[in-house]
Amino acid sequence: MTKLVTILGGSGFVGRYVARRMAQAGWRVRVATRRPNERLYVRTYGFVGQVEPVLCNIRDEASIRAVIRGADAVVNCAGILLESGKNTFDAVQAKGAGTVARLAAEEGVKQLVHLSAIGADAEAESDYSRTKAEGEAAVLAAFPGAVILRPSIIFGPEDDFFNRFAGMTRFSPLLPIAGGKTLFQPVYVDDVAEAAVKGAMGEAPAGVYELGGPEALSFRALMAMMLDMIRRHRVIVNLPNWLASVTATLFGTAQFLTAGLFTNRVLTRDQIRDLGQDRVVAPGAKGLADLGIRPTPMDLILPTYLWRFRPAGQYESIKESASGLRGQE
């Protein structure tokens, strides 16, 4: 009998890669999402009827139970980078995660995979990292055999990291960042998905895994690498904490005064607090190698989607070749 997996947040950045891999492995896939009518593209990840978007809100227990019922495995990829309305860090990443784990146990689910983040800490100053830790604790309390994945910054064609900063270079000779010395260990989205699939299929022992790529670089070094790949010369400006805080406050005030019509996706005070901590795999932590996964280097993937931010886009390499030929005349 074909097995069934439910992926909460399955239409998101990481979730869609998990859904595609589970379909390729022959599983039926329920993609739990708040807007199934807008996520019909997930059906193309498998044969007809194999992958289906279904209605679910992680704040609503009844809808969670409905999408989990009958599943052999559950993968919770639901998470947010910014709070919006009722979707707060506490509601989604702490309470929501605990509810998913409790209902998975009650419904007899065999495997549970929970996506957290490196830096999850119950004593963290940032609400993002604190609620990630609270979510982990709630998951393990309800489902001790869960596989918890803690990735560093995740990169891939749909990421909100390299794409966002590369886009900023189109409008200014300056590239402002906060926390330029903070270390990251970017991990490829499909490597994270492979880890999640191993957990869902029972091929990974229960426990916490910290996922990082082969390179640990500072925020500033990552931006310098990105600029080199998109062939743009920009001055990287590391904002001092006081200026970053003022900037975040101004954007936060604008969001408040517009009653949410403007969403602060630039910089928040919580992100500033979060940038005070490195996001690298801890010494001795279980990671990709323990799952039999070889991490993918950034330089193999980033050029495949950042080319569109080059001055001439896909024609940049042609221009460079032509420039070399003119020099030989």
pLDDT in tens, 33-72: 999 999 999 999 999 999 999 999 999 999 999 999 999 9
CB 188 within 8 A of CB 301: yes
In this prediction, residue 23 has a pLDDT band, given cuts at 50, 70 and 90, of: very high
Measure the CA–CA gap between 6 and 29, rounded to whole angstroms: 6
Strands (E), the chain: 4-8, 28-33, 51-55, 73-76, 111-115, 147-151, 154-155, 174-178, 183-184, 187-188, 207-211, 217-218, 235-239
Task: Give the model's pLDDT for residue 327.
Answer: 53
Model confidence over 161-185: pLDDT tens digits? 999 999 999 999 999 999 999 999 9
Q: Is the pLDDT of residue 24 over 90?
A: yes
Q: Is the pLDDT of residue 324 over 70?
A: no
Domains of the chain from N-terminus onward:
4-156+185-214+280-295 (3.40.50.720)
In this prediction, residue 323 has a pLDDT band, given cuts at 50, 70 and 90, of: low
pLDDT higher for 264 or 321?
A: 264
- Per-residue pLDDT, averaged over 289-312, amounts to 96
Q: Is the pLDDT of residue 145 over 60?
A: yes
